[in-house]
Structure 1
């Protein structure tokens, strides 16, 4: 159970880290229309069983770990994951993803494309950096607790 929990937390931290240091940086180089289209496709593609197993796994695994072996580190890991990863995703990233998903680039004027991107990009990236740091903290705290 411990190894599975640590592995899944590492995978989640890695996913968010990769988005922060490569995916969003690459997307930033695209013109507005292509940026929006690419981000829409990426948001659709990440919604798959493998991602969901990793993303939702800690919601079950961390409480089981703390039940079996209580420690302050595990308690902090749960708080970091529930608030900084799950909470930020639900309150921040998902609404932004939904906003972008409902935006149609077909027939959109240059100014509309620019405004949509401006409304989305910086906020989404900032929230993803928070998720990256919180998932990494949860991973490290769980690792410390399990050693």
Structure 2
């Protein structure tokens, strides 16, 4: 059951990043600079909540524990799959978020929405493309994490 909980936690994150990639980001991209900046600031503040952190940080803890459980009590192949899922998540999801997306979010949060249209356009240009590219990296890594974890669950008999 622990492996399933781990996989669901990672899947929730993959779904979040996927939803951003195929709906949120394209929708925000249609807004004016001021509208885009206001919406992203609001979203970045709203996502900092216990429900998000339970899955986001939960996966950082659950994946290594599942890896250990697989090597200790499960199958070696399952252990290697969960180890790959752990590395994929910690580097490609958690790491990219911590090193790229969070600093971009923090810089965006300091932008005054009262700035001139030219300044807002400059801030958006510095933020949007890079943030979206790295969200795509997180999405791909999160989906691969889930695929590896599901395969590990199947080998464990789930």
- The answer for the alignment partner of 2:75 in structure 1 is none
Give the aligned partner of residue 15 of structure 1. Answer: 16
Within 5 Å, give how 1:59-138 maps onto structure 2.
Answer: 59-70=60-71, 71-106=79-114, 108-138=115-145
Q: Distance in 2 between matches of 1:49 and 1:64?
A: 21
Name the larger-Rg structure: 2
Q: Secondary structure at the match of 1:57?
A: helix
Asked if the contact 2:10–2:145 (Cα under 8 Å) also holds between the matched residues in 1, the reply is yes
Distance 2:45 2:69 in 1: 37
Does the 8 Å contact 2:67/2:80 carry over to 1? Answer: no
Cα deviation for residue 15 of structure 1 reads 0.3
Query: TM-score, normalising length from structure 2?
Result: 0.91
Paired positions, count: 146
What runs of 5+ residues in structure 2 fail to find an aligned partner?
72-78
- Of structures 1 and 2, the one with the larger relative CO (CA 8 A, separation 6+) is 1
TM-score, normalised via structure 1 length? 0.97
Cα RMSD for the two superposed structures? 0.7
What's the counterpart of residue 4 of structure 1? 5
